[in-house]
Amino acid sequence: MKKILLCSLASLFLVGCAANNTVILKNSFNEAEAQKLLTKGTNTITGSSFMRQKGGTVVTCAGQSVSLVPATSYAAERMTYIYRSDIKGAIPFNMFNELPSPKFVNEPANFKNYSIKTVCDAQGNFTFENVADGDFYVVSIIYWDIGNVSMDFGARQGGSLMQKVTVKNSETKKIILTP
């Protein structure tokens, strides 16, 4: 009975949060602008991504996906809503083991197809090669699971990191993503 009550309360809380977290972006997604930034170029973006746990242990993005998102006007507005900045940001997982993210009412179905993905190596390093000249967002998710916290399920800690990067003229840019 306790579990049913707690689940019901959690559902009501989630519905309430979702209703207050809906966003209509002013900019529309320009596929041509994004496609131009995804053409083959001569730049390289390399780096690492990590977070520090409360006890001081460093957790990297090893084995996790990292995305390179063209910095279109739509993406800039979207990053500002998610990370409260379009330059650099971090958001932690919430108590429901999710990344708190607004629901974008006018999100085009194909927006997420306009990015390049790679996977961090065992040391938490990533590389994007043949990148076009322009502005991009590097987005990384880092997480670790902790054991039984309450209500018979574990919890996920960590979050998502974002940083804007500009490359041009065959350069190699190294970044470090941290909160």
Residues 64-96: tens digit of each pLDDT? 999 999 999 999 999 999 999 999 999 987 766
Confidence of residue 108 (pLDDT cuts 50, 70, 90): confident
Mean pLDDT score, 110-139: 96
Domains of the chain, start order: 2-177 (2.60.40.10)
pLDDT of residue 55: 85
Q: Is the pLDDT of residue 129 over 90?
A: yes
pLDDT at 3 over 70: no
Contacts of 113 (CB under 8 A, 6+ apart): none
Whether the full predicted model's pTM is greater than 0.95, yes or no, is no
Residue 97 pLDDT level (bands cut at 50, 70, 90): low
- Between 138 and 156, the more confident residue is 138
